A and B are shown apart, each in its own frame.
Chain A
């Protein structure tokens, strides 16, 4: 990973929704860390399931991929993988540059 921005072009019709969607993803990061601290993997799995099903619809295919990996890592209670995936999501969200056109 590097510092360069990740530019995602989205459907302009969804521009008004994307901000809220991404903010929810940031909240997901917090929820994941909290669940991980409790060694509670079901909430993490549900988060992964949710973002897997919605990311691509909003225009963020990477988020769908992350969601799939997160759901599987949580299913097998793989803490280290969850940390890695969360890191990738965090990095992605940190470098994301959304362009609606």
Chain B
């Protein structure tokens, strides 16, 4: 059904559908909120209910408008740039691993590894310089670590080592 038309034309329908589901879930859990006796408008439950219903209405509008846009679009797909979503997911994954490591290896080591990996992956293939990146990563993290923990007195995640 969606094959002939570019993603742009049905992205609104997708978004509307997503927010509709979100608002239904949000509404469902709003009913879990305790109503304090004597509270005005039911206390903590009021706002979530209002927001979720408003979200449902808006989702509906977005889907309708999105469908009109989809129906009108004449299927021209203009791939301006090939979608690099794989790279985005990779970077996200690396960040997730970094945060997980913060608890084990501590700030200094985790950040050095993270910085190194990030720079190497983001650099253009021809610009990847191993030694330079290692030096930048290590020195930057050491400076940042001492500047913030000793200099500014902030506490940074401690691992098993540093």
Query: Do A and B bind?
Result: no
A interface residues, Cβ below 8 angstroms from B: none
